[in-house]
Amino acid sequence: MSRGDKKSQSSIRKEDVRTLIKNIGKRVYKDLDSQIFPTLTLHTRSVKNLVYDPNLRQYVLGASTVTRSSQNIKQIRPFTQLIWLAYFTDKLVSEGKTSTLRDVFYSAQAFDVEFSDQSESDDIITDLEVILSRAREDFNVYPEERSAIFGDLDIEYTVKGYEGRGLNLTSHPDGFLIGPSLSTAEFIDTSAEIIIAVEKGGLFTRFVEEKVHERFKAIIIDTAGQPPRSTRYMLKRLSQELKLPVYVMTDGDIYGEHIAMVIISGSANAAHLRDLAVPTGKWIGVWGSDIIKYKLPSIPLSDIDIKRVHELKRDPRYSGGIWAKELEVFLKIKKKSELEAFAKYGLTTIVDKYLPEKLEEAKSY
């Protein structure tokens, strides 16, 4: 509630997640009051229950559910872990503190709640995401990895100690880390008309130096390879709240294509979430066909690369459009290129020539 009585997106989100967490507790108490053993029911995350939704262009969870009952000797362990996690994350949110997956694992020991290793606690955190239908960032569990953002966007923080303080995201030309403070900041104003996510830090710096933010009215995001979840969460918020189109630029190989795919269509691991995908986003390159068109230096696909192409061809997300087409091109030319390969034609060619041509081309698909 940073400005007058208009509730901020961020405080709505925060109240919302606390209500959802409290509802878990209410259900448990209700069962106890009725003298029955409390249970929790959630959608199954097994591969069998993964369903591809062609409209959303995303994997979603199917109808099958699993129950964790406090009456069942095998289920009481995950049941207890989940209840503890709900308590712990509610405390995090109410105190405005953040933590990491690893912090959660160790914190449990303070409460004599046992996790045999971190993968077990990571699993329970995902279960809580499923129950709440909220990304763990909403209950203040953040990844350790950070990527970066730069561009004309005025933000206003909502984190403790910074309420109401703002910043323009062009004020530090090396870029701003996307951590808990930026993830929960309000977007106040922008002159940007598009968002460009690039796979590499070197390109991000090049884009800033060559003023891509001014020349293309763009907010620039460095995904630093496969983007950390908080960066995908940020991309979603930017596209949704500012209603700006998202363009993704990666290396010219199938791993780059898949980075773009995960940004746009989400991952199978996060099939229970809608807040980590930008279905309107577009992958603008480097395509296999660009390697030919722009005469880029390239190296041959390895056997592992080729095997990976065949795997992706079986993935329903790759069943049409440029996704399918470019997989075929990679397979045909058996070559891959890096974004830096454009440097053969001068350090700024990627900005002066390639980027505007690809943005223009993107209007047609």
Q: Which residues are catalytic?
A: 106
Asked if 105 touches its own copies (CB under 8 A), the answer is yes
CA 333 vs. chain centroid, Å, equals 31
Asked if 107 touches its own copies (CB under 8 A), the answer is yes
| Least Cβ distance, residue 110 to its own copies (angstroms) | 5
* 3-class DSSP state of 29: helix
| Least Cβ distance, residue 212 to its own copies (angstroms) | 13
Q: Give the type of residue at 138.
A: D
Peptide bond into 60 cis (omega under 30): no
Q: Which stretch binds its own copies (CB under 8 A): 67-75, 153-161, 263-271, 316-324?
A: 153-161
Asked if 209 touches its own copies (CB under 8 A), the answer is yes
Among 15, 22, 56, 106, binds its own copies (CB under 8 A): 106
Among 110, 116, 303, 363, binds its own copies (CB under 8 A): 110
Asked if 344 touches its own copies (CB under 8 A), the answer is yes
- State phi, psi for 338 to the nearest 5 degrees: -100, 160
Among 157, 283, 318, 330, binds its own copies (CB under 8 A): 157
| Least Cβ distance, residue 128 to its own copies (angstroms) | 18
Among 175, 227, 285, 288, binds its own copies (CB under 8 A): 175
Residue 66: which residues within 8 A CB-CB, separation 6 or more? Answer: 41, 42, 43, 44
Q: What's the sign of the alpha-carbon dihedral 8, 14, 15, 20?
A: positive
Asked if 84 touches its own copies (CB under 8 A), the answer is no
Q: Which two tokens stand for residue 256?
A: 């780059």
- Residue keyed to tokens 């709440």: 132
Asked if 35 touches its own copies (CB under 8 A), the answer is no
Among 25, 78, 202, 279, binds its own copies (CB under 8 A): 202
State how far the alpha carbon of 222 is from the alpha carbons of 92, 178, 206, 217, 345, in Å: 28, 10, 11, 16, 23
- Pairing between strand 282-285 and 246-249? parallel
Among 342, 351, 354, 358, binds its own copies (CB under 8 A): 342
Asked if 193 touches its own copies (CB under 8 A), the answer is no
Query: Which own/partner contact pairs does 64-68 have at CB distance under 8 Å and 24+ positions apart?
Result: 65/41, 66/41, 66/42, 67/39, 67/40, 67/41, 68/39, 68/40, 68/41, 68/42
Among 2, 70, 121, 181, binds its own copies (CB under 8 A): 181
Residues at the interface with its own copies (CB under 8 A):
96-100, 102-103, 105-107, 109-110, 142, 144-146, 148, 157, 159-162, 165, 167, 171-182, 200-202, 205-206, 209, 211, 297, 338, 340-347
